[in-house]
């Protein structure tokens, strides 16, 4: 008994599949050719490290000096623009073990100024001072950390006064020493 063979049908199927794949790849190649897309060439509009004008070497002394002058001028001009204005300041106090850490935020950019922190309770007063330093978009006091041994238990009132040129800012917060 002879078993019918489907070899001719299978062969036709494979040939048609291969022809369809070749047609799809040909269509993709034609579109890429028309649109000038080539995976082996660089885009003329893109800058690569080889053809860029960026100098990745260490800065020269002249470049460092120019950057320092620009930074100094920027800070001096900012300080002058804040003349005779009220400065917005924020003050936060957190007791961390045997210390109270005071965080500050000054809504002005300056390296020239001073901060005075006065902490009072009943008839006792503790005073700390520090300089102002500039951040990219604000300033801060260089930091206050007061030992709790200087602040007996109870409610204290902390007042921060910031002076930058003739401008001034004040803020007050309460802290309960435990």
Quick: pLDDT tens for 47-87: 455 556 677 788 889 888 888 888 777 666 554 444 578 99
The pLDDT value given to residue 52: 60
Return the pLDDT at 13.
Answer: 86
Does domain 85-177 fall into CATH 3.40.50.720?
no
What residue ranges of the chain have pLDDT lower than 50? 47, 79-82
The answer to whether the Cα torsion of 30, 31, 35, 39 is positive or negative is negative
Mean of the per-residue pLDDT values of the chain: 83
> Which residue do the tokens 């004008």 mark?
53
The overall pTM is greater than 0.85 = no
Report the 10 Å Cβ neighbour count for 132: 23
CA torsion angle for 10, 12, 18, 23 (degrees, to 10)? Answer: -150
Given this model, what pLDDT does residue 81 score?
44
Per residue in 35-53, pLDDT tens? 777 666 655 555 455 556 6
- Distance (Å, rounded) from C-alpha 110 to C-alpha 74? 9
**CA distances in angstroms from 113 to 17, 105, 142, 158, listed in the order given:** 80, 13, 11, 19
DSSP tag of 86: B
- The ranges assigned to domains in the chain are 7-39, 85-177
């Amino acid at each position: 008994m002879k078993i019918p063979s489907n070899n001719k049908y299978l062969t036709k199927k494979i040939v048609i599949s291969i022809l369809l794949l070749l047609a799809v790849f040909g269509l993709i190649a034609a579109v890429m050719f028309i649109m000038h897309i080539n995976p082996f060439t660089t885009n003329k509009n893109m800058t690569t490290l080889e053809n860029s004008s960026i100098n990745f070497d260490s800065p020269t002394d002249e470049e460092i000096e120019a950057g320092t002058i620009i930074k100094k001028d920027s800070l001096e001009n900012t300080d002058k623009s804040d003349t005779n204005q009220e400065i917005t300041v924020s003050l936060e106090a957190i007791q961390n073990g045997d210390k109270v850490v005071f965080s500050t935020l000054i809504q002005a950019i300056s390296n020239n100024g001073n901060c005075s922190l006065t902490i009072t309770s009943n008839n006792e007063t503790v005073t700390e001072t520090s300089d102002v330093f500039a951040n990219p978009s604000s300033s801060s006091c260089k930091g206050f950390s007061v030992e709790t041994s200087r602040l007996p238990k109870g409610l204290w009132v902390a007042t921060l006064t910031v002076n930058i040129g003739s401008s001034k800012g004040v803020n007050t917060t309460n802290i309960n020493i435990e």
